[in-house]
Amino acid sequence: MSGGAVVRPSISIPEEQVVRYTFQERIYHWINAIAYTYLLTTGLALFTPHMYWLAAVLGGGPTIRFWHPWMGVLYMITIFWMHSKWKGDMIATKEDKEWQKHVKDYVENRDDKMPPQHRFNAGQKQFWWVMFYGSIILLLTGIVLWFPEEVPRNLMWIRPIIVFIHSATALLTIAGFLIHVYMSVFVTPGSMKGMLDGTVSANWARQHHRLWYEKITGRRK
Amino acid sequence: MSNGPLEIKAISGHSGPVPGQDVSRDYDVCKLVDTTTCIGCKACEVACLEWNGYEFRETTFDNTYQTMPDTAWNFWNLIRFNEHENDDGTLSWLMRKDQCMHCEDPGCLAACPAEGAIVQYKNGIVDFNQANCIGCQYCVTGCPFDIPKFNNVTKKVYKCTLCSDRVGAGLEPACIKACPTGCLHFGSKDDMKALANRRVNQLKEAHKDAGVYDPEGVGGTHVIYVLHDAKNPEKYGGLPADPRVPLMVRLWKGPLKWLGGMGMIFGVLGVFIHRVKYGPKHVDKVEEKRP
């Protein structure tokens, strides 16, 4: 056509996409998420009588007592797998300190004030390490709670300590989990697409993880 | 607690004021074990098995008269035999009937997460309801006497019921009925305490440290002992001197449960307020010039 291109308002140009998570990463993340959700709901049922109704919903007390540890095994496998893939990206960098200084801006959505970040920002890294070390503590204490009858008689005194640590650590991971789910579902449009389809828009990547974006595309402004 | 049904209203063949009218005995129950008159015959062990319908297990010989090292899910009543060397070189042969103590403040009940799996009756009996038990064994963690025992096949926990079925029908527990020396007594807590104290006064002539074992740390128990030496209960097969519900169980079922619950409620509330106040992040659609 002569006279320049005409773009009709009803046609939107598809945004350029970049790959954020591989198929494998997504699969492991979602197996982990499902396992955690089961562990969370069954764990809460065993934690407080106010939540014991969840036991009935999930098949009854003996059923959740049987499956909670097995689901914990599945959860740990995916945690360790994700760790092997992501540990490099989770190492603290000098940009994290800058991010920490601007955490208030981040919370209050003044993203233009945020320093550029790598593949994961400082908050995501903190969440990861809370979940990783928390999960290891939950695994070690969980094994004792799985087979309490195997605890030798002269070591019985550790059992109340173990059950306390297991519950306290679980609560810590729940705090992280709550923020993680809230951020991805309600605060950062596009991040859920990244974990489902594996791609995010270039604009999304540039805004939230500029250093990562520049690294994978080789582009610099 | 209403003692109404046990209060005397009228008695037959009596003129004038009714003696004992409107007065009732305490409705709670208590088992008194006088270790000083136990002869170690184990009739109570047999009676317990018979009444509760359990087969005899294989016994373990461990250079003692004790039937086996510990109580079990299907063996709730064990006479513990202990040879204790006294300071003056003499030997005491101590026998103690070990079973659930039926604490007034039961640690098993505090720790149990399963609704209705552990029931404490107003008469003091602490009973397990296996239909509601989920097999987590938190009760074992909460018990300062190491009484509840796990059955790995049924995945349930069992212990002495103080014959709640017999007591409910107005009978004494099976062990009491079987005891040939009268070292076992059964009645209200007040009556058993009085009887125990009477016996202790008798014993004091020969055993200056004789006393009643009714530990305060668990609010008192509905099984009490008369001991020759109440200052050293440990020598009676590991009877704890000051049993308490473990501190970590108290913290876990108290402050931690409270803090955790509040934290979750305010956490959800917090992110909701955040969403309403700040909304989602917007991605600036900057069309970048391609190189």
Percent of chain A whose pLDDT exceeds 90: 79
Choose among B146, B104, B102: nearest CA to B128: B102
Q: Taking CB atoms and an 8 Å limit, are B152 and A149 in contact across chains?
A: yes
Q: Report which of residues A60 and B11 the model is more confident about.
A: A60
* Maximum Cα–Cα distance across chain B: 117
Q: How far is A28 from chain B (nearest CA, A)?
A: 26
Q: How far is CA B290 from CA A12, A17, A199, A208, in A?
A: 19, 14, 19, 20
Which token pair is A81?
A: 């797998």
Q: How far is A12 from chain B (nearest CA, A)?
A: 13
Q: If you average pLDDT over residues A60-86, what whole number do you get?
A: 96
- Contact by Cβ (8 Å): B150, A149: yes
Distance, in Å, from the CA atom of A87 to the CA atom of A81, rounded to the nearest integer, reads: 10
Question: DSSP of chain A, one letter per residue?
Answer: --SS----TT--PPPPEEE-S-HHHHHHHHHHHHHHHHHHHHHHHHH-GGGTHHHHHTT-HHHHHHHHHHHHHHHHHHHHHHHHHHHHHHS--HHHHHHHHTHHHHHTT-GGGSPP--SS-HHHHHHHHHHHHHHHHHHHHHHHHHSGGGS-GGGTTHHHHHHHHHHHHHHHHHHHHHHHHHIIIIISTTHHHHHHTSEEEHHHHHHH-HHHHHHHH----
Q: If you average pLDDT over residues A126-144, what whole number do you get?
A: 97
Classify residue B181 by its DSSP letter: S
Choose among B72, B147, B154, B66: nearest CA to B111: B147
Q: So what's the ipTM on this one? A: 0.86
Q: Which of residues 129-188 of B touch A (CB under 8 A)?
A: 132-138, 140-142, 146, 150, 152, 155
Average pLDDT, chain A: 91
Q: Taking CB atoms and an 8 Å limit, are B135 and A62 in contact across chains?
A: yes
Task: Tell me how crowded residue A139 is: count the other CB atoms within 10 A of its CB.
Answer: 17
- Min mean pLDDT across A35-39, A189-193, B263-267 is at A189-193
Q: How far is B270 from chain A (nearest CA, A)?
A: 10
Q: Are strands B223-227 and B30-34 parallel, antiparallel or unpaired?
A: parallel
B-chain residues near A168 (CB < 8 A)? 256
Q: Taking CB atoms and an 8 Å limit, are A62 and B286 in contact across chains?
A: no
**Per-residue pLDDT band at A1 (split at 50, 70, 90):** very low
Q: Report which of residues A8 and B120 the model is more confident about.
A: B120
Predicted pLDDT of residue B8: 74
Choose among A166, A162, A136: nearest CA to A148: A162
Q: Taking CB atoms and an 8 Å limit, are A148 and B247 in contact across chains?
A: no
pTM, full prediction = 0.88
Q: Does B289 touch chain A (CB under 8 A)?
A: no
Give B14's Cβ-side CA count (13 Å radius). Answer: 11
Residue A51, burial from CB neighbour count under 10 angstroms (0-12, 13-18, 19+): middle
Q: Measure CB to CB from residue B155 to each of A62, A157, A163 and give the nearest one.
A: A62
User: How would you classify residue B162: left for phi > 0, otherwise alpha for psi between -120 and 50, otherwise beta?
Assistant: left
- Which backbone phi and psi does A200 adopt, to 5 degrees? -130, 160
Q: How far is A193 from chain B (nearest CA, A)?
A: 14
Q: Taking CB atoms and an 8 Å limit, are A65 and B134 in contact across chains?
A: yes
Predicted pLDDT of residue B14: 79
**Pairs across A and B, CB distance < 8 A:** 134
Residue type, B247: L
B-chain residues near A161 (CB < 8 A)? 248
Predicted pLDDT of residue B59: 87
Which token pair is A127?
A: 């969440």
Q: How far is CA A179 from CA A128, A214, B224, B271, B274, in A?
A: 12, 27, 53, 8, 11
Q: If you average pLDDT over residues A127-149, what whole number do you get?
A: 96
- Contact by Cβ (8 Å): B250, B224: no
Q: Taking CB atoms and an 8 Å limit, are A179 and B271 in contact across chains?
A: yes
Residue type, B113: P
Strand partners, B91: B85
Distance, in Å, from the CA atom of B131 to the CA atom of B118, rounded to the nearest integer, reads: 10
Q: Taking CB atoms and an 8 Å limit, are B280 and A190 in contact across chains?
A: no
Q: Which of residues 63-102 of B touch A (CB under 8 A)?
A: 70
Residue A5 has pLDDT above 70, yes or no: no
Distance, in Å, from the CA atom of B106 to the CA atom of B111, rounded to the nearest integer, reads: 9
Which residue in chain A is spatially nearest to B266 when comparing CA positions?
Answer: A175
Containing B32, the helix (H) or strand (E) segment is strand B30-34
Choose among A147, A103, A145, A105: nearest CA to A124: A103
- Which backbone phi and psi does B109 adopt, to 5 degrees? -70, -40
Distance, in Å, from the CA atom of B289 to the CA atom of B291, rounded to the nearest integer, reads: 6
Give B12's Cβ-side CA count (13 Å radius). Answer: 0
Residue type, A215: K
Residue A7 has pLDDT above 80, yes or no: no
**B64-98 residues labelled b (16+ CB within 10 A) or e (exposed):** eebbeeebebebbbbbbbbeeeeeeeeeeebbbbb
Residue A163, burial from CB neighbour count under 10 angstroms (0-12, 13-18, 19+): buried
Predicted pLDDT of residue B6: 63
Which token pair is B2?
A: 């209403």
Q: Give pLDDT tens digits for A91-101.
A: 999 989 989 99
Q: Measure CB to CB from residue A160 to each of B246, B257, B259 and give the nearest one.
A: B246
Residue A177 has pLDDT above 50, yes or no: yes
For chain B, residues with pLDDT lower than 70 are 1-6, 23-26, 286-291
B-chain residues near A167 (CB < 8 A)? 252, 256, 260
Q: How far is CA A48 from CA A170, B56, B109, B110, in A?
A: 13, 39, 13, 11
Which residue matches tokens 């103690």? B96
Distance, in Å, from the CA atom of A169 to the CA atom of A137, rounded to the nearest integer, reads: 7
